[in-house]
Amino acid sequence: MTGLKDIDSVSHLITFLNGLGYKVKAEPLYIPDFGFPDSVKKILGELYLLSDYEKRFQIYLAKIPALTRTNYRNIIESFNSRFPQINTLFIFTKDWEEIVFINPERIALGVGKPKLKLKTLVVDREHIYHTDQEVIENIRITPHEQTPDIIYEKHKNAFNVERVTKEFFNAYKFALESIKDILSYQEKATPQEVHSFAQQLLSRIMFLYFVQKKGWLKWKDYVQDKRYIKNLWERYKGYKTKGSNFYSQWLSKLFFNAFQGPNKHADIHKDPYLPKDIKESFVIMPFLNGGLFIENRLDKIGFQLPDEIFQHLFDLDPFDSKKGFLERFNFTIREDTTLEVEVAVDPEMLGKVYESLISEEERGKAGIFYTPRVEIDFMCKLSLIEYLTEETGLSKVELIPLVFEPQTILPSSVIPAPPSVIPAKAGIHEGFSSDDIRKVMIALHKVRIVDPAVGSASFLVGMMNVLVELYKYLYQMAERKKLEEINLFGLKKQIISENLYGVDVKDWAVMVGELRLWLSLIIETEEKYFDIYSKALLPSFTFKMRQGDSLVEEVAGKQLFLRGEYGHIPETLRHRIEEIKGKKTAYFNDSRHEWEKEIEEMEHALLKDILSDDIKKIDKRVKARKNELESRPKEQMGLLKTKEEREEASRKKTKELEADIEKLEVEKKRLQEILMGAGKKKDYFLWEIDFAEVFAEKGGFDIVLGNPPYVRQEQIAFPLEREEDFDADEWRERKREYKDKLVNSAKLLWGDTLKIDKKSDLYVYFYYHGLALLKPKGTFCFINSNSWLDVGYGVGLQEFLLKRMEPMYVIDNIAKRSFEADVNTVIVLIKRPSTNDVINHPISPLKKEGKGGFERKQSPLKFIAFKKPFEEVVKPETILEIEQTNERTVTDDYRISPKDMEELLLEGIEIHEEEEKRLIEKDPMHLPYSGNKWGGKYLRAPDIFFTILEKGKGKLVRLGDIAEVRFGIKTGANEFFYLTPLTSPLIKEGQKGVLKVRNEAGWEGEIEEEFLKPVIKSPRECKTILINPKDLKYKVFMCHKDKKGLKGTNALKYIEWGEKQGFHKRPTCRGRQRWWDLGENNAPIIVRSTFNDKFDFFFNPKRFLLDKVMYGIFARGNAELISMLLNTTFIAMFIEIYGTYGLGEGALFVAVYNFDNIPIISPIAISPMQREMLSKVSEKLLTRETLNIYEELGINPSLPIREQKPNPLPDRKALDDIVFDILGLTEDERNEVYWAVCELVKNRLEKARSV
């Protein structure tokens, strides 16, 4: 049977495809018949139709002079423009050494015709990989699959690069864990060091797997080998003798000598273990430099790396897919784009793997989590537009098309725009003056950008790519350069040097971030243009990407912030910073080991000098205060009328001065302790020292962006510590200590008045610190969980942003997931105000105009919900529309809700109606803010939500105004209190009825029936709205008597058994007067706290008890009536809007206080006739089994929602019609309620399920 290796002619290709099950016949085609453009005719040597299925799926072979992406696209797009109805597999070759299989897929991107996404498999016949074979095997068809639609679906799935990503991720993770197991057994280092070394080893080897694809790793006489590492291993295995070791004797020489330039080659010649041919190969290796192959502290630990590690990496095993994983996958140095995807491991895929590994460690969950390129690209461009607007004075109308699609503004006299580029639309600026171009280029050189949780550096790489695209077109416009004349390696290196910075708390994360940047550089490097042997090729990122805790900065164990210092440091220190900056630039280009140490010493000396200068300033201030104490200002005292007044004023002033002196002395002592404890060596991270050049030059960064770690509040701990290294109490204390440090560090930056809920997830702290890193007018852009928009701990952050920042955009995408399978995310864009002294001093973005009026000082905060994937909607026209829209707008692509700061503040202030008039006279900046449902009301809420609020004026009330919502029972020991009956009640002599029961701890026994009450443990037990006791499985131990009153009962014996188990010592139980007495919670209406696709409110006339997973509603009035009103469909919509997203698996949580705020029809708005109608409806609705929302409303969620006419169940419709009549909704508005509820539920669940 013909295999991939055997395809060296058309006939062999035919045989190969036939073996895959295809009906094939080579039909040479006459190219002029196709009407291709002349440019395509020139490159098409031969064209064959190999297979044809009903002219709906065809396979073509094209022989072309050069295998380039441009040639592929030109040919396939020309074919597609003539035959858009045909799906294809295109096969390209030049000389049969390489064969390229391409699956073109039509995708919607913006307006106009669909674009072609080319998914490519490049097969090198000399080097066939597992990936190649698997893709080809997946397009095999059986005799039952000979239809065009089935074939095309198989091809789409086979060429899915996400499948390769998952396979590579799992194989990489397995290899990493295997190496760590071997190293851990040696007991030479901490778990963190073991992990870091294992990551470093894999990073070095994988970097070489990319480098060898460039042909840079060579044998004697400069013979290229694109499988050099594998062949080096094979050469070692054939040469090794007893006692040989691949790592210590061969690989370490390659790493630390061969790649370090000619000066290190002498050691290779002297090496006694290396064969002659290996020495001859090693001395012609490229001079990589850069830091990746410099021996570091991890290398000096002395790990022994047995050959079995490399067997696992390089030796394929047909029976174990995890072995030889580096040889299973094809590596490519070309990076994918939106429309060009190669089914291989490229640097971007490696970045996804690294980001996923970091995310796994932070979240404690397995899986692939990464921020898609399109979202990173979008965030980078939004941030750059804000920066360029401030720096250049150009308008956003001019800048948006330049940043988002620079090719559209390129003059045709320079270079014709590609055919796929959409011509500039009306309203988009069509030209730039030379002065405009100069302004933009100067601003780009000056921009300083940082990711404070840099991880795999995906955001820095994304920003670099955006800047490269901008520079490419600016150079062409300004200097009339052709694209091929631009030195992209030099340009990327310049951007990294001038513009990009990053920090991560994990050293191995910094390491992989550096690797990602190095790979992005070598993409642009061609050996014929560079001396790769005698000059250092790669720059060092040691002082661009730094390891440290972005959130807690400490020196000598004490928190220290120098954020405001650079505004008033002595000139001598400014000169010192310039020296450090110069040294860093030199080290960037030539990473000499001694320079690294020298720079760190200079940084350490700078810190000491700043502290010493601060201490001197404190001494001067103390002296000034003491002088003031000694000489009372008589002229001021003379202004006071009486002796008593003068004496009181003097005492008051003396007290103030003494307090000030005491405060200064305390601060002086603290600084002296830090200075003394700092030691002789830099062993800390401080933003203002590690990036002194940025803070001295600008006072902060121009742009802060990234995707901060998603760590839930209960998991927050010192980031480099592990739970397994502590006992439970110690770990709890360590977590508390770190959380205290987080809160204190934020308050050191922004003042003690800052409100921080300790239940905040970790990303919230990154907001406070990230915003503090900005210079005035700087721009902040994060993608993170949307939970802060609606949950309690988001209140403080909302207030902080409204009162002290200029929030601009909160962006959701209801069509597609971001980077994680079960956490919903938003993109947030914020500007720091222009006020210089923001840190530690509250400022107001609102300025008072007069009594009761406020003038908006900045643009409104715009809540934007995109309805289509980012790929389809992120285009200049859309961004311009959003930028210019200042009122609620709904289009096919997006929904936007602009809200003024004052409006948002007032909505978040809890006041009673009688207070509203007095509020008008007050400044909302100083009123207590209690929070707002930003996500529910402004991102998720459909238009019908606002219609109901408008039509419901005077008819709607808050649920909290007519009922009290309370938590269910929190037992603190479910395994004690919840029991399952095993028998019917028994009558024993001298006893009331007793019941035999079993608890969740396994205890079985008899307890008096009077102490066992039915309990609703889960809403799943409730099949109908009216709670049926037959559905309840559990009893709860409910006893209000003391032990004396229980004498002689089984209940007392049970309590005593519980105490022997230690239940009475549990926190919740310990807090009760009688630990076994649960009190009462027997509400007439019950509702779940967490929702999926059912929204029942249960009527509980027998007052059964309920567990804490539900809430009890105590109605003030007719409970049955209120329960029916709560079961109307529009309440489900309000639950979706007022609930909290971001929980696992798309679940929706509604807090007690959110239920209080849900609008409900006021009972007094219901006429007697309507009450009678409600009573009739309830007879059936109360007792039938409830269904999910789709079944209740007659909507199929697998079909487009709005293409279906709602068909609610009869009793459901009867109930809804009564309420809709009260609200005065039209027929269309009623349908809108049904559609909106189903869309909200579907979007929530699907968004959480998608990746």
Is 736 part of a structural domain of the chain? no
| pLDDT score at 903 | 86
Q: Which two tokens stand for residue 719?
A: 């980031």
| Paired tokens of 769 | 């610190």
Residue 638: pLDDT band with limits 50, 70, 90: low
Q: C-alpha angle with apex 25: 24 to 30, nearest 5 degrees?
A: 130
- Number of domains comprising the chain: 7
How high is the pLDDT of residue 853?
40
Task: Please state the rounded mean pLDDT for residues 1194-1222.
Answer: 95
pLDDT > 70: percent of the chain: 90
Kindly state the tokens that stand for 986. 């028994």
Residue 1 has pLDDT above 60, yes or no: no
The residues near 349 (Cβ < 8 Å, ≥ 6 apart) are 161, 164, 165, 168, 336
The tokens describing 549, both together, are: 């805790």
Statement: residue 137 has pLDDT above 90 = yes
pLDDT of the residue at 424:
39
Q: Is the pLDDT of residue 645 over 80?
A: no
Q: What's the pLDDT tens digit per position in 733-745?
A: 999 999 999 999 9
810, β-bridge pairs = 828, 863
Structural domain contains residue 258:
yes
- pLDDT value at 711 more than 60: yes
Q: Tens digit of pLDDT for each residue in 202-243?
A: 999 999 999 998 889 999 988 999 999 999 999 999 988 777
The C-alpha atoms of residue 1140 and residue 1130 are separated, in whole angstroms, by 18
Lowest mean pLDDT among 273-277, 315-319, 809-813, 1187-1191: 315-319
Burial environment of residue 244 by CB neighbours within 10 A (0 to 12, 13 to 18, 19 or more): middle
Report pLDDT digits (tens) over 448-475. 999 999 988 999 999 999 999 999 888 8
Give the per-residue pLDDT at 631. 72
In a domain, 644, yes or no: yes
In a domain, residue 713? The reply is no
Give the pLDDT score at 880: 94
Give the mean pLDDT of 617-632. 84
Is residue 263 domain-shared with residue 174, that is, in the same domain? yes
- Range(s) of the domain holding residue 961: 941-966+1080-1251
The DSSP secondary structure of 502-562, one letter per residue, reads EEESSHHHHHHHHHHHHHHHHTT--GGGS-TTTS--BPP-TTTEEES-SS--EETTEE---
Residue 388: inside a domain:
yes
Same domain, 915 and 952: no
1124, 1219: one domain: yes
Residue 1110: what pLDDT?
92
Q: How far is CA 902 from CA 513, 737, 925, 1063, in A?
A: 42, 37, 9, 51
∠ CA 789-794-799, nearest 5°, is 100
Tell which of 652, 684, 716 closes a domain.
Answer: 684
> What mean pLDDT is predicted for residues 12-25?
94
Q: Does 1182 fall in a domain?
A: yes
The whole-number average pLDDT for the span 286-290 is 83
pLDDT at 61: 96
The first and second tokens of residue 312, run together, are: 């696992």
Q: Mean pLDDT over residues 254-281, rounded?
A: 90
In the chain, the percentage of residues whose pLDDT exceeds 90 is 55
Are 1085 and 1213 in a shared domain? yes
The average confidence (pLDDT) of the chain is 87
72 neighbors 61 (Cβ within 8 angstroms): no
Instruction: Kindly state whether residue 747 falls inside one of the protein's structural domains.
Output: no
Residues 402, 488 share a domain: yes
Query: Where residue 281 falls among pLDDT bands split at 50, 70, 90?
Result: very high
Evaluate whether residue 748 is within a structural domain: no
For the stretch 834-869, pLDDT in tens is: 864 444 433 344 444 433 343 435 689 999 999 888
In this structure, are residues 1094 and 1100 in contact, taking their beta carbons and an 8 Å threshold? no
Same structural domain for residues 123 and 187? no
**Taking the CB of residue 396, how many other CB atoms lie within 10 A of it?**
17
Regarding predicted confidence, which is higher, 1174 or 414? 1174
Are 456 and 484 members of one domain?
yes
Report, in angstroms and rounded to the nearest whole number, the Rg of the chain calculated over CA atoms: 35
- Provide mean pLDDT across the span 406-422: 51
On whether the pTM is more than 0.75, the answer is yes
Q: Contact, 976 vs 997, CB < 8 A?
A: no
pLDDT tens profile 325-347: 899 988 888 777 777 888 888 88
Determine which of 59-63, 636-640, 780-784 has the lowest per-residue pLDDT on average. 636-640
pLDDT band at 486; cut points 50, 70, 90: confident
Residues 981 and 1091 in one domain: no
Among candidate residues 652, 669, 684, the one where a domain is terminated:
684
Helical pair 876-884 and 396-404, crossing angle rounded to 10 deg: 150
Give me the phi and psi of 823, to 5 degrees please. Answer: -130, 125
Q: Are residues 532 and 596 in the same domain?
A: no
Whether residues 870 and 992 share a domain: the answer is: no
Confidence check: pLDDT of 1043 > 50? yes
Residues 476 and 603 both lie in one domain: no
pLDDT band per the 50, 70, 90 thresholds, residue 991: low
Local structure of residue 1020 (DSSP, 8 states):
G
Q: Which of 135, 159, 183 is the last residue of a domain?
A: 159
Judgement on whether residues 176 and 197 belong to the same structural domain of the protein = yes
Question: What pLDDT is attached to residue 985?
Answer: 63
**Nearest Cα to Cα of residue 817 among 1123, 323, 368, 327:** 368
The answer to whether 995 touches 983, Cβ cutoff 8 Å, is: yes
What is the pLDDT averaged over residues 979-985? 82
Where does the pLDDT of residue 589 fall: very low under 50, low under 70, confident under 90, or very high at 90 and above? confident
